[in-house]
Structure 1
Amino acid sequence: MKGKPDDPKETKVYLRMKKRITVPPGSTVRLGAVARLLAEPPLLERLQQLPLYTHRKEDGNRVVIDVLQIIKTLREKAPATMVETYGDPQVLIMVEENGASASPRAAVLVAAWLLLFFGAGLAIMNFHTDVSMKEVHQRLAFLLTGKETIHPLWFQIPYSFGVGLGMIIFFNRIFRRRFNEEPNPLELEMYTYQENINAYVIADEMRKKAGRVEEKSDG
């Protein structure tokens, strides 16, 4: 930024952009909310309170702040600082109401839980039907005991518990309890899915912003 590298009055500020934040409608987004800063304490407190953007209703519920916008603000408000940026070049701002009631979310959670529970059960039963699991159990029971058994419950019941235990071990979680700190496959998929959504939304918002700038310049 402004100033020579050997300028004794120049202060260096290290800045790392966050990936995504959530703010209520109509709020003012400040620098300390969208980035982590490292600077001298008096300057740090002042920079954290710098306003970058105030939400307007016509902006919708998704806004992207670019690192160049932050550098422009710092040049205007703190011209004697030199900025070193790290991390992502944009931060995604999601505008959401803070006072949303918990009951609709709880109802959606229960409905989704029931849907997944019965859906998973039907999927397992259909799989067992496709591979003729009943006949396999009967054959295994005959090989172990030498007797024909239509319902070898002594074999099927432990097998059913084993399927459930295997799912618990695979997902590394039972309710809120984790067995270790290793992420399970579902968490990895959700992380990848969220990262892809953030990347798409940021690219889409940047494209829209570029289109609006071109329209203004043409006009």
Structure 2
Amino acid sequence: MESGTITIYIRLRHKISGVLHETLTLDRLAQVIAPEKIKSHIDKMVIHQIKQEDNSYVVIDAMDIIRRIYQHYPNSDIQTVGPSQTIVVVSTKPKKARLILFALVWILLFIGAGLTIMNFHEDVAMQEVHQKIYTMVTGKVDFKPLILQIPYSIGIGIGMILFFNHIFKKRFNEEPSPLEVEMFNYEQDLDRYIAFHEKEKNEVGNHRD
């Protein structure tokens, strides 16, 4: 035990990955600033060992870490910065990609997207609009104004590429696409739900004990 007051700063990581039976030390869960003479010991403090009953997620609360540090350094002044919890995603054995399943999903999405675009054009009578535009510009009647329909179809594809800011793995600029923003918001909401649900489950388990 160290004499005098020791100031320790802890910044929990938002999310990390772990594997079954892995021992989670503090340096895996957080960034620590402490006097050099005790930092190495604090970094290697065991906070949790992943067990089978942990299932897919483990939530480590800042209070658990503070409690563990106080056991060794009761005179320390612990300051937490940033997130109050760390979510540990327990990784399982990676599944091999199934080419047939991938192809079926790709075909399903392709057909679904195509039907969505066609139904939209049917609802707004896009073909009639093209016919009227062609007649207004040329003074002629053409029930299949390909000179408008072909560039319009190409433009839809280019517009979708620009909208999502990707073509395969190529990114056009650093600005996130709307899909990436929505995925980020979804992950944030999912993390909040996991943190709340796991904390509630742990509190119920502690009351039973």
Question: TM-score, with normalisation over the residues of structure 1?
Answer: 0.86
Structure 2 alignment gaps of length 5 or more: none
2:205 to 181, 192, 212: 212
Per mean C-alpha deviation after superposition, the further-off stretch among 43-52 and 66-75 is 43-52
92 and 108 in structure 1: CA distance in 2 versus 1, 3 angstrom threshold = farther
> Percent identical across equivalent pairs?
36
Question: What's the counterpart of residue 182 of structure 2?
Answer: 189
Q: Deviation per CA, 1:70-109, whole angstroms, max 9, x where unpaired?
A: 0011112344532210112111112112x414424x6655
Structure 1 alignment gaps of length 5 or more: none
Query: Displacement, 1:43?
Result: 3.1
2:97 alignment partner, SS class:
helix
The AA in structure 1 aligned to 2:52 is K
Distance in 2 between residues matched to 1:110 and 1:79, nearest whole Å: 59
1:122 to 96, 115, 119: 115
Distance in 2 between residues matched to 1:107 and 1:26, nearest whole Å: 34
Question: What's the counterpart of residue 150 of structure 1?
Answer: 143
Q: CA RMSD in A?
A: 2.1
1:46 to 33, 41, 44: 41
The AA in structure 1 aligned to 2:48 is Y
1:82 to 69, 74, 77: 77
Distance in 2 between residues matched to 1:200 and 1:40, nearest whole Å: 36
Which structure 2 residues correspond to residues 51-70 of structure 1 after superposition, within 5 A?
A: 51-70=46-65
Distance in 1 between residues matched to 2:6 and 2:172, nearest whole Å: 47
The answer to whether 1:16 aligns with 2:16 is no
187 and 107 in structure 1: CA distance in 2 versus 1, 3 angstrom threshold = farther
Query: Displacement, 1:194?
Result: 0.5
Question: TM-score, with normalisation over the residues of structure 2?
Answer: 0.90
Per mean C-alpha deviation after superposition, the further-off stretch among 111-120 and 85-94 is 111-120
1:95 alignment partner, SS class:
strand
Per mean C-alpha deviation after superposition, the further-off stretch among 129-138 and 58-67 is 58-67
Distance in 2 between residues matched to 1:11 and 1:194, nearest whole Å: 37
Q: Deviation per CA, 1:140-169, whole angstroms, max 9, x where unpaired?
A: 111111111121111101001111111111
The AA in structure 2 aligned to 1:118 is I
Per mean C-alpha deviation after superposition, the further-off stretch among 80-89 and 49-58 is 80-89
Question: What's the counterpart of residue 100 of structure 1?
Answer: 94
1:199 alignment partner, SS class:
helix
